[in-house]
Amino acid sequence: MAKRIANVIVDSPIREPLDYLVPADLEIQVGQRCLVPLGSRKVIGIVIGFSEESRFSRLREVISRVDDVSPLSSGWLALTLFSARYYQSGWGQVAIPALPKFFRKLPGKLHERSLERLRKEKKRSVKKSSEKPQLNSEQSAIVEEVQLDGAFYPALIFGITGSGKTEVYLHLMEKVLLRDPEAQVLLMVPEINLTPQLVEKVQSRFPQFEVVSWNSGMAEGQKASSWLACHEGRARILVGTRLSVFASFKSLKLILVDEEHDPSFKSQEGVRYNARDLALKRASIEQIPIVLGSATPSLESYKNALEGKFKLFKLTQRANSNAHLPQLSLVDIRKDKPINGLSQETANAITETINSGRQVIVFLNRRGFAPVVECKNCGWQSTCPHCSTYAVFHKTTGRLTCHYCGWSTPLPKTCPKCGSYELLPIGRGTQRAEEELETRWPEARVSRLDQDSARQRGSASQVLDAVHNGDVDILIGTQIVAKGHDFKNVGLVVVLNTDPQLFSSDYRARERLFSVLMQVSGRAGRDKTEGKVLIQTRYTEDDIFKHLKSQDYEGFAAGELEARRASFMVPFSAQALIVAEGKEISSVLAFLQKLKALAEKIKSPSIRIFEPVPLTVQKVMDIERGQLLIEADSKVEMQKFLNRFQPEALSLKAKGSWYIDVDPLNY
């Protein structure tokens, strides 16, 4: 009788599946998790197939099946395989980390009992259904036209802020869930702080269905419970952030991606995948519809829609017929010079808004008190000893902190270099702005929402609830405040310190700036009274503000796409970034030169290789970093090149580590 051989993937740099003998008394299927020996360790693996022969002469045995959890689907396996190949990683390096920790750790004695507890975990009940708003004609047309019948159907909803994209999502969900008693829906959002409010909204709309969430801020037990509920088909709706694209479903029928333009969908560690792009691939594999939504679509998605690859829908009016688009004005700070960050016109507008009983959002995309502390006497500046960047002053803790490695030290009382007492905070972050706002408007209730204030679990939700309940007069925050919040009483949005992004060397900077300014502007005037937006700038004539004032995303996008086409930048080309790390920048760049020589040797005419250079932030955690940029005429050509390049590159000896970032967003 021929021996049965299981092909198993594990979380290791090994690119090919490993072969293991299956004991005669072990029943195991493709897609099931198993326990296998790897060197001297026992590890979790996933069976991806069986064979009768192996290229290895001596095989070890599968130890056991992990538990009775049903197999991962062929669609899930296909998605993780595609991800591994496209992002130049091992299959197991994608598939195993995509599971919650509970399902990828070695099973203990109480594993089965814990598994049953996860199955019985009670979800929060919702007693009654929330009111269903009446759709306007544009919303109704989208709900009617989106094709939900068993085929891959990519669509992009381009809708102005406040146009009711979420309500369209909910109506599409309803159609799918009510027509099929087993159907499941995935709703992806970019920001963890948006998840609780959105889950609550979805639960109140669909109290008859189990709704779960999955994001990095949840406890491991909650993640495992949500994952299992989706895998076994009990949960009908999953609301999740980036990693939810890898959730396991029994009967997935619709994917929705809100704020599809957001860079948070791109992973910046481990396997550097783009969850929006993988959501599109998953919909293609599963042959189901996928709907992307944004007030400022990514240029990649917008170009796909213009070319007919996505169905394009537009929402041109606010869902609330009483709501008005905000009036946007520029404050020329060359003439109206700011005092403590605010011009006189801006200060007057804040006072007027508060006195009228409405709320103010102040947007400053820089956290901390001051980005650097400087000695007035000798010019010493606060820098991180482990990174090539400044240490930011945080007044709430009295410490200098590096936002890259986390290094922190108390603010020195005297200059470490010359002993002078004249240490001055330079620049302005959200903590400093908060303090200045509290000093200038002592009667106002001021709150701050940024990465620091949102660090504790639930703290962001508390601030957002306070704004919704009218318990905050002025909210100062970073881009967290710009994302998808439906604040009914915000009458004024103030935007500070955007000018540096107008002249960034990053070709995506203007697209990102336009997007975040459009998004934060959209927080104003969402109810009956017209809102106002004030942007402080020295460059009032810049085209970006002309398009913002008229809410003209299409005009802005047309100009950006034409500039990208002329310079052959994404989305009219494809990019990959090779990043090398080591103790000395000279050895890092020398290794990248070897990779460049290899790339030049095997590249086709459609590939362009640039010179190795240090990263913008060259050193992080005492590790020096360099990059080699590769450009191709298309993604297909890039994949052909990388599939030839990487196996040979892996044979080169490096003193440090290196990785490939396909479709990079930052470099």
Encode pLDDT of 382-410 as tens digits: 999 999 999 999 988 999 999 999 999 99
Q: State CA 303 to chain mean position distance.
A: 21
Q: Please give the Cα distance from 609 to 592 (Å, whole number).
A: 11
Instruction: Map out the domains of the chain with their CATH numbers.
Output: 5-110 (3.40.1440.60), 137-315 (3.40.50.300), 327-367+429-563 (3.40.50.300), 574-662 (3.30.70.600)
Confirm if 645 and 578 have CB atoms less than 8 A apart.
no
- 240 three-class SS: strand
pTM higher than the cut 0.85: yes
Angle formed at CA 544 by CA 538 and CA 545, multiple of 5 degrees: 60
Smallest Cα–Cα separation from 509: which of 662, 667, 372, 273? Answer: 667
Q: Are 238 and 244 in contact (CB under 8 A)?
A: yes
Q: ∠186-189-151 over CA atoms, to 5°?
A: 35
CB burial readout 137-168, b (16+ within 10 A) else e: ebbeebbeebebeeeebbbbbbbbbbbbbbbb
Query: Which among 221, 168, 164, 223 has a CA at the least distance from the CA of 192?
Result: 223
pLDDT number for residue 1: 45
pLDDT at 124: 57
Note the residue count of the chain: 667
Instruction: Show Cβ contacts of residue 590 under 8 Å, excluding neighbours closer than 6 positions.
Output: none
Instruction: Please give the pLDDT value at position 129.
Output: 63
Cα 189 to Cα 215, 218, 311, 327: the distances in Å are 10, 15, 21, 28
Distance CA 60, CA 157 (A): 52
Q: In what order do the strands lie in the sheet with 18-21?
A: 18-21, 5-10, 41-51, 33-38, 64-65
**Residue 216 has what pLDDT?**
84
Bridge-based pairing state of the strands 574-582 and 399-401: unpaired
The DSSP letter of residue 570 is T
Token pair in block for residue 460? 């962001």
Tell me the three state secondary structure of residue 400. Answer: strand
- For the chain, residues with pLDDT lower than 50 are 1
Helix (H, G, I), strand (E, B) or coil at 571: coil
Handedness of CA 396, 401, 404, 407 (dihedral sign): negative
pLDDT (0 to 100) of residue 325 = 78
pLDDT at 484: 66
Residue (of 323, 319, 339) closest to 331 by Cα position: 339
Strand (E) or helix (H) holding 535: strand 532-537
| Cross-strand bridge partners of residue 46 | 9, 33
Buried b / exposed e along 388-409 (16+ C-beta atoms within 10 A)? bbbbbbbbeeeebbbbbbebee
Q: How far separated are the first and last CA of the chain, in Å rounded?
A: 56
SS3 (DSSP) at 195: helix
Q: Hey, is 22 helix, strand or coil?
A: coil
Helix, strand or coil, per DSSP, at residue 534: strand
Q: How far apart are CA 132 and CA 320, in angstroms?
A: 13
Q: From CA 521, how far away is CA 35, in angstroms rounded? A: 53
User: Given this model, what pLDDT does residue 107 score?
Assistant: 85
Instruction: Mark residue 206 as left, alpha or beta (left: phi above 0; alpha: psi -120 to 50; beta: remaining).
Output: beta
Q: How far is CA 215 from CA 105, 191, 197, 232, 292, in A?
A: 19, 9, 13, 19, 19
Helices H, strands E: what count in the chain? 19, 28
Q: What single letter denotes the amino acid at residue 314?
A: K
Helices (H), 258-403: 275-286, 299-306, 344-355
**Residue 214 CB neighbours (<10 A):** 27
**∠ Cα 387 391 395 (to 5°):** 155
